[in-house]
């Protein structure tokens, strides 16, 4: 009998004794706590107060969430170099915490903000009749959003402990970089798989601890129709709230991007043109892969959400929920390894050796987002709409085409945009799966950054940032235009 797996297990345990897993947990916990604390504050200011310009901040503060984390790592590295003349701080555990906190705080304020919106105003108004605002906040509001706070921490923790690109760029050894090194550099697949299983177990156990909230979470909703949330009037405090949000926006978004721009152009346009020339061959393939993945993501999300609407309590519906949620929570590096192990067979070589395996990876990783967005949108459709259609003899297909799809159009489009942006920026899984000879945007940028001058690195990341932001703006205005033209869509629903 072959007991070689025991040797590999012992090697894996030796790695754990070095403190690498504990270090990864500490970093992820710090990011989770900081992101959740800032998420509570920002979410309250944006969703529960009459703060001026809050609609602007609601969109602007989301920018870091839709830009690949390694781009922010480059931006923060250049910012520290420009301000203090060295990058010792950013090339450390603290640097990883800083970058990931700025990236994941928008996710926290989305989760917590949606929970705040769903608090019945009658509860808070009743409290304000007998006590002051501070007591209402501590004894009513915060307890009511406690599941969202836990959910925020858990999701940010999972994303942080799963993150590969930021620690790899900043030269910080964590569990994901060790798994990548064992699998891709040392070809020690047994150790990599054992370590991967341990990380998956941690993520799944955390998901199970908050399964009731996360499986039915309202945080991935487009719009909040029918909510009756209490809005607090800040008065003179308006200026302090605006100042806080403005400083946060400048520090976490504008300043790093401004530094990238300065680094890219301070020697003229030479490096921008060079970076564009180097990356130009990747645009068509990367956009095609991302668009294909996004369409599949929307299709699976809609199919699953529609089935959930019809079969609300079925065992298959619950199994589908959990399969998407767990796949979404699996670290990208580990999902890539899983797909390699599954498709690396003679009869599946046509998938393994093609770009199709990347599209499968995108679909598996991000379908949960589309599913939750569309499911939450379907829940907001009054049942009377479909009941009336059935009484009039309208066939199910016509109901979907003429009633359901027009009503959830914003969610369909938002699902496509999010799937597209997340797919085109995905690095951890793509770096494991891309076939030899193919050129994909995030892979080429990440590999070239290792030995490129800082001006060229800044130029490449600025181009990727600009492409992503430009794509988001196009889709944002396109969605707005289509919604305005859609006579079926009504915010009162």
The predicted model gives 326-339 an average pLDDT of 88
CB of 449 closer than 8 Å to CB of 367: no
Question: Can you state the angle between helices 409-425 and 454-485, rounded to 10 degrees?
Answer: 170
Residue 466 lies in a domain: yes
Has residue 469 got a pLDDT over 70? yes
Indicate if 413 and 454 belong to the same structural domain.
Answer: yes
pLDDT band for 137, please (50, 70, 90 cuts). Answer: confident
Indicate if 242 and 387 belong to the same structural domain.
Answer: no
Indicate if 286 and 243 belong to the same structural domain.
Answer: no
Closest by Cα among 101, 90, 83, 78 to 172: 90
Least confident of 6-15, 87-96, 150-159, 204-213: 6-15
Cα–Cα separations (whole angstroms), residue 316 to 217, 258, 312, 321, 323: 19, 49, 10, 9, 10
Count of domains forming the chain: 2
Indicate if 344 and 440 belong to the same structural domain.
Answer: yes
Query: 448: burial class by Cβ within 10 Å (0-12, 13-18, 19+)?
Result: middle
Bridge partners of 119?
none
CB of 441 closer than 8 Å to CB of 345: no
Which pLDDT does position 356 carry in this prediction?
93
Which pLDDT does position 227 carry in this prediction?
52
The predicted model gives 188-193 an average pLDDT of 81
Joined tokens for residue 159: 């994303």
Which pLDDT does position 54 carry in this prediction?
85
Indicate if 107 and 121 belong to the same structural domain.
Answer: yes
CB within 8 Å of 231: residues ≥ 6 apart: 48, 49, 50
Indicate if 190 and 312 belong to the same structural domain.
Answer: no
Closest by Cα among 166, 167, 159, 147 to 202: 159
Indicate if 257 and 280 belong to the same structural domain.
Answer: no
Residue 228 lies in a domain: no
The predicted model gives 401-406 an average pLDDT of 80
Closest by Cα among 240, 286, 305, 315 to 434: 286
Residue 176 lies in a domain: yes
Joined tokens for residue 16: 């754990």
Indicate if 445 and 402 belong to the same structural domain.
Answer: yes
CATH number for the domain harbouring residue 457: 1.10.3720.10
CB of 106 closer than 8 Å to CB of 61: yes
Indicate if 256 and 276 belong to the same structural domain.
Answer: no
Dihedral of alpha carbons 412, 56, 468, 156, sign: negative
Residue 232 lies in a domain: no
Residue 463 lies in a domain: yes
Which pLDDT does position 270 carry in this prediction?
86
Global confidence as pTM: 0.85
Which pLDDT does position 491 carry in this prediction?
43
The predicted model gives 212-238 an average pLDDT of 61
Residue 246 lies in a domain: yes
Distance CA 169, CA 447 (A): 10
Which pLDDT does position 28 carry in this prediction?
95
State the residue range of the domain holding 247: 1-222+237-266
Q: What is the pLDDT of residues 52-98, one digit of tens each?
A: 888 889 888 988 988 889 889 989 988 888 888 788 899 999 999 99
CB of 366 closer than 8 Å to CB of 423: yes
Which pLDDT does position 211 carry in this prediction?
62
Does residue 383 or residue 218 have the better pLDDT? 383
């Amino acid at each position: 009998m072959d007991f070689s797996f025991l040797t590999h297990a012992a090697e894996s345990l030796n790695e754990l004794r070095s403190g690498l897993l504990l270090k990864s947990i500490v970093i992820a916990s710090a990011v989770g706590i900081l992101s959740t604390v800032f998420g509570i504050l920002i979410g309250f200011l944006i969703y529960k107060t009459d703060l001026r310009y809050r609609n602007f901040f609601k969109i602007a503060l989301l920018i870091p969430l839709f830009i690949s984390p390694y781009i922010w790592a480059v931006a923060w590295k250049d910012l520290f170099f420009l301000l203090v003349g060295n990058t010792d701080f950013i090339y450390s555990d603290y640097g990883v915490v800083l970058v990931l906190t700025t990236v994941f705080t928008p996710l926290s304020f989305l989760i917590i903000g949606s929970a705040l919106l769903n608090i019945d105003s009658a509860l808070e108004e009743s409290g304000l009749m007998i006590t002051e605002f501070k007591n209402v906040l501590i004894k009513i509001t915060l307890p009511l959003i406690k599941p969202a706070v836990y959910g925020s921490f858990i999701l940010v923790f999972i994303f942080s402990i799963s993150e590969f690109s930021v620690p790899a760029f900043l030269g910080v050894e964590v569990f994901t970089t060790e798994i990548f090194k064992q699998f891709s550099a040392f070809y020690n697949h047994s150790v990599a798989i054992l370590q991967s299983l341990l990380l998956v177990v941690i993520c799944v156990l955390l998901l199970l601890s908050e399964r009731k909230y996360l499986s039915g979470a309202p945080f991935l909703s487009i719009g909040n129709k029918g909510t009756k949330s209490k809005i607090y009037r800040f008065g003179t405090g308006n200026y302090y709230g605006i100042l806080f949000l403005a400083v946060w926006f400048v520090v976490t978004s504008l300043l790093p991007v401004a530094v990238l721009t300065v680094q890219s152009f301070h020697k003229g346009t030479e490096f921008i043109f060079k970076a564009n020339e180097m990356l130009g061959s990747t645009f068509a393939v990367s956009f095609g892969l991302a668009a294909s993945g996004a369409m599949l993501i929307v299709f699976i999300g809609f199919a699953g959400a529609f089935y959930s609407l019809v079969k609300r309590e079925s065992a298959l519906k619950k199994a589908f929920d959990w399969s998407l949620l767990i796949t979404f929570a699996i670290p990208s590096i580990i999902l890539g390894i899983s797909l390699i192990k599954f498709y690396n067979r003679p009869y599946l070589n046509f998938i393994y050796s093609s770009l199709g395996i990347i599209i499968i990876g995108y679909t598996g990783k991000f379908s949960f987002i589309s599913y939750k967005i569309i499911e939450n949108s379907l829940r907001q459709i009054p049942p009377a709409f479909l009941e009336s259609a059935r009484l009039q003899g309208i066939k199910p297909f016509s109901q979907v085409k003429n009633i359901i799809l027009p009503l959830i159009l914003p969610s369909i489009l938002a699902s496509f945009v999010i799937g597209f942006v997340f797919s085109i920026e995905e690095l951890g899984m793509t770096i494991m799966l891309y076939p030899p000879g193919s050129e994909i945007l995030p892979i080429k940028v990440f590999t070239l950054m290792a030995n490129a001058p800082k001006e060229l690195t800044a130029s490449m990341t600025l181009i990727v940032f600009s492409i992503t932001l430009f794509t988001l703006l196009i889709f944002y205005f396109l969605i707005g235009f289509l919604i305005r033209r859609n006579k079926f869509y009504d915010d009162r629903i």
